[in-house]
Amino acid sequence: MQNQKLVSEQVQEKRGLAFAKFFGVLGFSMFMLIPLINAIIGLFIVIFFVMKIIAASAQRTKDLFWVFVGAAVCMFGFFLPALCDGPTSAGMKMGFFLEFVLNICVAIFIVSGKLSHLIKPAGQA
C-alpha cells in the first residue's frame, strides 16, 4: 500500500516562490557584504531597475525614489565596517553585521516590497 502525497501545481508554485524569495534576500545580503561586489553588482542592480522603471512603470517618480534610497542605504552600509572599526576587530565585525542587516532591510522592504511589481514573472503580471 503506497501512500503518496502529491501537491497541486499551485501549491508547488507558492512553495517555489517562497523558496526563491528567501534565498534571493539571503543571496542579495551576502553578496552585498563584499565591498567590490557591492560596488559593481550594486551599480548593475540600479541600472536594471532604472531601465525597468523607465520601460514599464506607471509611477516612475516614486519607483526611482525607492531605487535611489535603496542604493544610498547600501552604499552607507558599504562604509559601516570602516566607521565602526576601532582598536579591536569587534567594531569591524559589528559593522559587517550592521551592513548585513541593512542589506536584508533593503532586500525585503525595497526590492521585494516597494519594487516587487517590476520583477514579477511573466505569468503573474
Residue 66's pLDDT is 94
Sequence length of the chain is: 125
- Record the cell numbers describing residue 6, joined without a space: 502529491
Q: What is the pLDDT of residues 30-55, one digit of tens each?
A: 888 888 888 888 889 899 999 999 98
What is the predicted pLDDT for the residue at 124? 58
Q: What is the pLDDT of residue 111?
A: 85
Per-block average pLDDT, block size 10, for the chain (125 residues)?
Answer: 71 87 87 84 90 88 93 88 80 87 90 83 56
**Per-residue pLDDT at 17:** 85
